[in-house]
């Protein structure tokens, strides 16, 4: 009897300690810390690399490559996280878990997922880069009825018949949806309009003749800003930007977004996000600090940009807070 009570006591103590420990991790975060481990609300480092953020009402969904060590190496995963403040992210599951779609070689890759919500069909349409040895160069489409999946794979293809490697997404002010994709044989980077139901890439809008990938676009105060990285694989390089008054162009020359010698602080562009607040519209860059040997540990840079009048600049990544009501960001003491 005494033994049983002792055991029960120990069990309760363990349970108590585990709860305390989990609570410490689950504490609400107030500061975004670019480049550091970014714990989700369960305390696990966010797995949403090469990601995209889709806003539905007041909720942001962050989709990206999930590269956790515990995953089945024969499958490819897209992680999904939700947040209302861009700071605390709740894991909503791996919303796409894919086995080899058909006849691809075992080393096939699924990268840079981007999700578009179609108001007419009420479907969530995910575009991904599907490849084998980076030679196949296709996009894949998967669909869901909910932002949190499960997404079902539909097909893979060459958009408008072109090769497509890194992809990005852009929704214009009028709600039109565009896929941005790197078309290497054409020596550039395309902006193409999606069909009404988003299930196809319908019309080429522009080919930017610049060898750039990790493409992202935002519309800010009358100008389109386009950001991209050089073609150096997992290695960082000086990311650049150009502007235009229309998506068709003409686009200005590409210029550095940070001092070229810092190689974008080790990060590669993935997406531009706009937070429209009562006092300020803030544009944030979502970028990846890749760790090719330990991909699960790759980090993120989500940083407010200095933007306006045709200029765009990435300040040194540093901790900050964001006020979702006013749109203001404030750097904090380190
Ligand atoms: C990068 C690309 C990444 C990944 C990597 C593989 O250029 O942006 O998404 O494809 O190459 O080397």
- Please write the tens of the pLDDT for every residue from 192-212: 999 999 999 999 999 999 999
**CA distances for 233 relative to 121, 129, 237, 240, angstroms:** 36, 14, 9, 16
pLDDT at 26: 59
What separation in Å is there between the alpha carbon of 178 and the centre of ligand 1?
21
CATH number at residue 191: 2.115.10.20
Q: How confident is the model at residue 3 (pLDDT cuts 50, 70, 90)?
A: low
Who wins on pLDDT, 9 or 244? 244
**pLDDT per position as a tens digit, 309-329:** 999 999 999 999 999 999 999
Q: How confident is the model at residue 8 (pLDDT cuts 50, 70, 90)?
A: low
Please tell me the total count of domains within the chain. 1
Q: Is-contact 208 189, C-beta < 8 A?
A: yes
Closest CA to 213 of 286, 280, 164, 251: 164
Q: How confident is the model at residue 130 (pLDDT cuts 50, 70, 90)?
A: very high
**Whole domain around residue 173: which residue ranges?**
31-331
Ligand 1 atom closest to the CA of 268, numbered from 1: 8
Who wins on pLDDT, 27 or 290? 290
Q: How confident is the model at residue 333 (pLDDT cuts 50, 70, 90)?
A: confident
Q: How confident is the model at residue 19 (pLDDT cuts 50, 70, 90)?
A: very low
Who wins on pLDDT, 53 or 333? 53
Q: How confident is the model at residue 16 (pLDDT cuts 50, 70, 90)?
A: very low
Collect all residues with Cβ–Cβ distance below 8 Å to 197 and sequence separation of at least 6: 118, 120, 121, 123, 125
Mean pLDDT, range 172-199, rounded to an integer: 97
What separation in Å is there between the alpha carbon of 100 and the centre of ligand 1?
19
Structural domain contains residue 15: no
Q: Is-contact 79 63, C-beta < 8 A?
A: yes
Owner of token pair 């306006």: 308
Structural domain contains residue 24: no
Structural domain contains residue 53: yes
Q: Which of 64, 107, 136, 166 to mutate to test the pocket of ligand 1 (most atoms within 8 A of CB)?
A: 166
For a pLDDT cut of 70, what percent of the chain falls above it? 92
Structural domain contains residue 304: yes
The pTM for the full model equals: 0.92
Looking at ligand 1, which residue's alpha carbon is closest to its atom 11? 233
Q: How confident is the model at residue 242 (pLDDT cuts 50, 70, 90)?
A: very high
What separation in Å is there between the alpha carbon of 164 and the centre of ligand 1?
12
pLDDT at 20: 47
**pLDDT per position as a tens digit, 144-166:** 999 999 999 999 999 999 999 99
Structural domain contains residue 20: no
Structural domain contains residue 57: yes
pLDDT at 107: 94
Structural domain contains residue 327: yes
Closest CA to 225 of 309, 287, 294: 309
Collect all residues with Cβ–Cβ distance below 8 Å to 74 and sequence separation of at least 6: 99, 100, 106
Q: Does the beta carbon of 331 lie inside 6 Å of ligand 1?
A: no
Q: Does the beta carbon of 113 lie inside 6 Å of ligand 1?
A: no
What is the Cα–Cα distance from 172 to 325, expressed in whole angstroms? 22
Ligand 1 atom closest to the CA of 131, numbered from 1: 10
pLDDT at 243: 98
What separation in Å is there between the alpha carbon of 233 and the centre of ligand 1?
5
Q: Does the beta carbon of 236 lie inside 6 Å of ligand 1?
A: no
- Gyration radius of the chain over CA positions: 21
How many CB atoms lie under 10 A from the CB of residue 136?
18
Ligand 1 atom closest to the CA of 213, numbered from 1: 8
pLDDT at 300: 98
Q: Does the beta carbon of 214 lie inside 6 Å of ligand 1?
A: yes
What separation in Å is there between the alpha carbon of 267 and the centre of ligand 1?
12
Structural domain contains residue 22: no
Ligand 1 atom closest to the CA of 50, numbered from 1: 9
């Amino acid at each position: 009897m005494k033994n049983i009570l002792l055991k029960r006591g120990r069990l309760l103590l363990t349970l108590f300690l585990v709860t305390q420990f989990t609570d410490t991790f689950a504490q609400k975060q107030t500061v975004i810390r670019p480049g550091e481990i970014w714990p989700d609300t369960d305390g696990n480092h966010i797995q949403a690399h090469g990601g995209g953020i889709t806003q539905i009402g007041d909720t942001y969904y962050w989709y990206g490559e999930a590269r956790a060590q515990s995953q089945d190496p024969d499958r490819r995963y897209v992680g999904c996280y939700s947040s209302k403040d861009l700071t605390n992210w709740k894991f909503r599951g791996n919303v796409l878990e894919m086995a080899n779609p058909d006849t691809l070689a075992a080393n096939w890759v699924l990268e840079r997922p981007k999700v578009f919500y179609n108001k007419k069909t009420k479907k969530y349409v995910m575009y991904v880069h599907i490849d084998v040895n980076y030679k196949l160069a296709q996009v894949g489409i998967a669909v869901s009825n909910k932002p949190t999946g499960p997404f079902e794979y539909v097909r893979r293809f060459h958009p408008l018949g072109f090769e497509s490697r890194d992809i990005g997404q852009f929704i214009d002010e009028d709600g039109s949806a565009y896929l941005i994709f790197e078309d290497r044989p054409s020596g550039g980077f395309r902006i193409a309009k999606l069909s009404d139901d988003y299930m196809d890439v319908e019309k080429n809008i522009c080919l930017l003749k610049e060898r750039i990938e990790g493409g992202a676009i935002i519309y800010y105060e009358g100008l389109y800003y386009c950001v991209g990285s050089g073609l150096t694989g997992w290695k960082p390089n000086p990311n650049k930007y150009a502007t235009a008054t229309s998506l068709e162009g003409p686009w200005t020359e590409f210029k550095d977004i940070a001092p070229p010698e810092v190689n974008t602080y080790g990060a590669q562009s993935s997406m531009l996000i706009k937070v429209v607040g009562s006092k300020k519209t803030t544009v944030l860059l979502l970028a990846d600090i890749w760790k090719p040997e330990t991909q699960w540990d790759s980090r993120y840079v989500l940083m407010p940009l200095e933007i306006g009048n045709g200029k765009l600049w990435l300040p040194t990544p540093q901790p900050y807070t964001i006020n979702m009501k006013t749109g203001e960001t404030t750097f904090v003491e380190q």
